[in-house]
Structure 1
């Protein structure tokens, strides 16, 4: 058993350079997401395209998933150094196109290229952790990488908001380019040219990628519809296409995920399902700023930063979990969904009430949001480490890319479900305080099913991987 590693072991010497490069790429991807969300209202005022507003996010998510799914092939083709440089350059190219966009069509093209590069960067951060760092540092590195989304939640909206207030939304995109160039140069100078995983397959799973893209587009398109029948149809088609992917994977030579990843009787299947359920647990977050403004008298800025408590909880818990998992990894895996469930139950009880800024209501709402984030952060490093340790030696890159593919798909699917639940609960019709209150309850109550099921899956994960999962 390897000696427990401290944060100093991760941040000193060459390990620190690797950690900076990998965490930096994820930070670029994450900060860009929040900057774009903040400035898009200003963008459509300037260049038009309000009818396609939501597709700026939809296409970004779709191509991010494709990037994650194609990461194993990119690593095999270009090696760690080349893959990271290609990913960063794609991200920079998409960012440049966005900054110069004269109309929404060009903006959507730029966002698509950004998403592809960002998906590569995110998946490579997990995949290269295993390649460039010793196993005893995996938990620390994963904690650092996952914490970057929490950091981005705090600084991304602030950066985007400043540029939007100044009417300089193009500069918001420009501001990312020097950092992209810096991380590309750092990767070119430090990352290894080749990976030790020489026996991994590099064939492209074309059919699965087509089905995956169609599934995400169906779910996303359904969530944008105003007719409830179309919303439900989009979700049904998405689920059917996921089932089709599982059927194709069972007999395909070129694979999207490692073998036996679609059954919960296997370690990888249980782990991927656990990752998906944790991502579903946090999707009510997209409506929290609106509900805090409508029901609890918060300003847009205040509501946005209260909603960020979920990401803050994830960030803090990721750092703590990476230290605790050497001794209590099994308990952390089970505690994660249990805390997320407690947070959603608390939100279901308190968020629907009209508080007009009453901190007797805001305090438990804040606690509920923190509990969800803390639950995910506690379990996350241990889950990712177990994926590495459970994957066959010849499918390590597929396993690492698969984590990001599953995570991003769960986010897209969960966002669509959140929109469906909110619409069915009356957030738009009848709308107003009554609609907001109903939506607040049903969003929290419906999504509580994900961590509730996650507790049972966590027990299975521990049973299947408990011995392997101890670093």
Structure 2
């Protein structure tokens, strides 16, 4: 086997799922899938939950509590890894997740359900972040893009499996069983991790307890943004969003001066690329996750689809994400620079198309807008899938050795923050746009139009950030500039 062939073999999917790595790959991807699938199962069965135990006024808090708890778990994962090790950390997180699932399954009222969702979020957040943190430890560097693409693909898988599983249980009046169904998966993931992941290593520099003050401020900022996003009145909206922005500013100021930080110190250094990479990955992820919240609503109300039909069409975006993530992980180094820059352009194009076609009912030919919507959703998801794993790879390479674990685990911390804030601002745009007209159909169409106008700002900002010197520098250091790999091969020959 020639040197280039050997290099390709060592960085391909067979190496990731070879005899020596298959159990590790399954444990890490299983932890990420458990968190993501559980999120979509819960969203699907919640209407059935409310019908049986009540608590409609706390309906939205199921997702809010879960995301906030996941954020706390993800933020704590670097400390868990440093003090307990990957093996014990995975086992502990799986136990907490199982306890939460059992609480949800046995809930007699919504308060108990929210306690269970909080525990699930804590355990799932640790599992999710540890999966990213372990990529750098358990795989050789040529495998990083493949491993990160595998973890990213779990979100696409979740949007296909989660609603199907949740819908099946809900249809038969067995919503409690849907929470119990994930317990065997959690047990298998925990046991597999205990068998193949490394134990506790000597405590690394920078290992510390989670920064409670920053976490508390960040959680309050998310809650304030979520409250403002409801849009009940102009005063409440302004107060909620202003409070969220003030708290976000306080968080950044505290992070810059605190001895214990939530994100790596380089994330706040303008001369370093790490902060920009986190911003890029967060903005891209928020584009898709914010759109997915409202897609079923718009597809049902504007295009007359059934819940099942709307769910499967909405899943096209995640399918595009998954397919593109797998594709981008196999690109040669001299094509990754093009791919990572193309991602935001594709997502921006998709949002612009959806601004036009989502409110369009299509008259008698209702299939025309649906075909265009499916194409735009696939394109938008592909844009994120194309760039996100490559941005995660750049995070691992840009991080200092002292904060390598924190930098990797913080990928999910940033994504969860972006998801929470993105959902709040998306909700605000939908609610405000809906008040611009009194006619029901026109109101929904206007909400759809302004949602995608708002979401288009995220990939547009990404395009601007990618023109910065620090981003160009980290891409160049990674050897991803177009033609560099070809030039090296010619010199060797």
TM-score bracket, shorter-length normalisation:
over 0.9
Q: Give how far 1:468 is off.
A: 3.1
Aligned to 1:106: 112
Match of 2:392 in 1: 384
TM-aligned CA distance change 1:435 to 1:225, over 3 Å: closer
Question: 1:463 aligns to what?
Answer: 472
Is 1:437 paired with 2:445? yes
Between 1:419-428 and 1:166-175, the stretch displaced more is: 419-428
**Corresponding residue of 1:58:** 64
- How far residue 232 of structure 1 moved from its aligned partner, in angstroms, is 3.2
Shift of 1:427: 6.6
Q: Return the offset for 1:98.
A: 0.5
Asked if structure 1 preserves the Cα contact closer than 8 Å seen for 2:277 and 2:471, the reply is: no
1:304 to 303, 308, 311: 311
Paired with 1:139 and 1:78, the residues of 2 have a C-alpha distance of 27
Counting only pairs closer than 5 Å after superposition, residues 113-128 of structure 1 correspond to structure 2 as: 113-128=119-134
Counterpart-to-counterpart distance in 1, 2:237 and 2:180: 36
Instruction: Output the CA distance in 1 between the equivalents of 2:311 and 2:176.
Output: 22
What is residue 329 of structure 2 aligned with on the other side?
A: 322
Secondary structure at the aligned position of 1:198 is classed as coil
Residues 1:338 and 2:342 aligned together: no
Matches within 5 A, 1:189-338: 189-195=195-201, 198-224=204-230, 226-262=232-268, 264-282=270-288, 283-324=290-331, 326-338=333-345
Alignment match, 2:135 = 129
Deviation at 1:263, TM superposition (A): 5.1
**1:129/1:195 CA distance change after superposition, 3 Å:** farther
The answer as to whether partners of 1:163 and 1:169 remain within 8 angstroms in 2 is yes
Q: Which runs of 5+ in 2 are unaligned?
A: 481-493
Q: Computing the radius of gyration over CA atoms, which structure comes out larger, 1 or 2?
A: 2
Runs of 4+ in 1 over 4 A off after TM superposition: none
Contact 2:76 2:209 in 1 (8 A): no
User: How many residue pairs align between the two structures?
Assistant: 471
How far did residue 264 of structure 1 move?
A: 5.0
Q: Is the 8 A contact 1:80 1:192 kept in 2?
A: yes
CA deviation vs aligned residue, 1:62-93 (integer Å, no higher than 9, x gap): 11001111111111110111111111111111
Could you tell me how far apart the structure 2 residues matched to 1:370 and 1:459 are?
26
Matches within 5 A, 1:363-382: 363-382=371-390
The partner residue of 1:450 within 415, 436, 458 is 458
TM-score, structure 1 normalization: 0.96
Q: How far is 1:431 from its partner? A: 5.6
- Report the alpha carbon displacement of residue 367 of structure 1 after superposing the two structures with TM: 1.1
Q: Equivalent residue of 1:324, what SS?
A: coil
Deviations 1:138-194 (A, max 9, x none): 110110110011111001101101110110110000111111111111111111003
2:432 aligns to what? Answer: 424
> Does residue 359 of structure 2 align to residue 359 of structure 1?
no
Partner of residue 349 from structure 1, selected from 351, 356, 360: 356
Structure 1 counterpart of 2:25 = 19
Counterpart pick for 1:3 among 2, 7, 18? 7
For residue 415 of structure 2, what is the aligned residue in structure 1? 407
Normalised to the residue count of structure 2, the TM-score between the two structures is 0.92
Q: Secondary structure at the match of 2:200?
A: coil
Decide whether the 8 Å contact of 1:228 with 1:424 is kept in 2. no
Measured at CA, do residues 10 and 196 of structure 1 come closer, stay the same or move farther in structure 2, by a change above 3 Å?
farther
Within 2, Cα distance between the matches of 1:22 and 1:292? Answer: 34
- Structure 1 CA distance for aligned equivalents of residues 203 and 367 of structure 2: 54
Q: Distance in 1 between matches of 2:439 and 2:28?
A: 44
Distance 1:263 1:424 in 2: 36
- Check the 8 A contact 1:426/1:435 in 2, yes or no: yes
